[in-house]
Amino acid sequence: MCVDTEQLTKSADYYGSHYLTQEQLEKERAEIEEYLDLKAYHSNGYSHPLLPVITNEKPNRFQMFRWGLIPFFIKTEKDAEQIKKKCLNAMGETIWERPSYREASKKRRCLIVLDGFFEHHAYNGKKYPFFISLKNDEPMTVAGLWEQWENKVTGEVKHTTTIVTTVGNDMMSFIHNSKRTEEVGPRMPLILPKELMRDWLRPINDNADKELLKELIKPFETDEMQAWPVRQLLGKNGVGNSPFAKEPFYYEELPI
């Protein structure tokens, strides 16, 4: 399960040049720079922060959607508040069948742009946070789903998203070893290689298109990733949303 991330800590050009043509970047630069005010060295999904996304409907621009998907069929604000806590992550293997994700997986897929994410490693009764990113220091393109939900009482429209996950690679199998992981197995965000990221946004016109998307749901290569332990993120002694969040911090008692 991925509920802690880092995003928007670089420059507009850093993100734009990775996803947009030069012409598109010139049009989008001002808006991307405005988004950088929302930089997060560490954000927790249960606070439902805004995440930068690129949707299948607007594939040439960045948008900011709330983390925690609210399915379109939810009727009340109370129910919306409850379900978004449960929809931070969506298991890629079941998005086509789960009611909360079924329609979004067919019609509303997106790319979520992260600088990295955090996962906790269990050892000797304690949990130790690790920061995980790409070795080449490029943005991490994660598969996502998105929804547009309208509050029928107030008329407010909310755009929300969820991170699609897949089976953990060798690195994540070591790090993501909590008690709950024993039941479902190690997981990781569905990171898409640069050459395949736009395939996640392709429309589904027939079953063959759907099968091609399913083939994308697999672990990212361990050799292209890096990870190290960091300071505690939450609680009284947590570093929170600070540049220190991803700095290496080695625990004497932790054998790595």
Structural domain boundaries in the chain: 4-246
Q: Give the SS3 label for residue 193.
A: coil
pLDDT for residue 177: 84
pLDDT for residue 66: 97
pLDDT for residue 183: 64
Identify the architecture of domain 4-246 in CATH. Alpha-Beta Complex (3.90)
CB contact at 8 A, 134 and 140: yes
pLDDT for residue 86: 96
Report the 3 state secondary structure along 211-234. Answer: HHHHCCCCCCCHHHEEEEECCCCC
Instruction: Read off φ and ψ for residue 93, nearest 5 degrees.
Output: -70, -20
The residues, ordered by sequence, that sit 6+ positions from 105 with a Cβ below 8 Å of its Cβ are 95, 96, 145
Per-residue pLDDT tens listing for the chain (256 residues): 789 999 999 999 999 888 999 999 999 999 999 999 999 999 999 999 999 999 999 999 999 999 999 999 999 999 999 999 999 999 999 999 999 999 999 999 999 999 999 999 999 889 999 999 999 999 999 999 999 999 999 999 999 999 999 999 999 999 988 766 556 778 999 999 999 999 999 999 999 999 999 999 999 999 999 999 999 998 888 898 999 999 999 999 998 7
- Measured CA to CA in angstroms, residue 38 lies from 6, 32, 34, 49, 214 at distances of 11, 10, 8, 9, 32
Q: Give the SS3 label for residue 187.
A: strand
How many alpha carbons lie under 13 Å from residue 11 in its C-beta half-sphere?
A: 4
pLDDT for residue 182: 58
pLDDT for residue 219: 97
Cα 104 from Cα 100, distance rounded (Å): 8
CB contact at 8 A, 133 and 8: no
**Which residue, among 125, 14, 31, 144, has the nearest Cα to 87 in the 3D structure?**
144
Which helix (DSSP H) or strand (DSSP E) does residue 209 occupy? helix 207-214
Cα 141 from Cα 54, distance rounded (Å): 10
- Measured CA to CA in angstroms, residue 184 lies from 68, 90, 168, 181 at distances of 21, 13, 11, 5
The β-bridge relationship of strands 157-167 and 63-67 is parallel
- Sign of the CA dihedral with 120 first, then 121, 122, and 127 last: negative
pTM, whole model, 2 decimals? Answer: 0.95
pLDDT for residue 2: 86
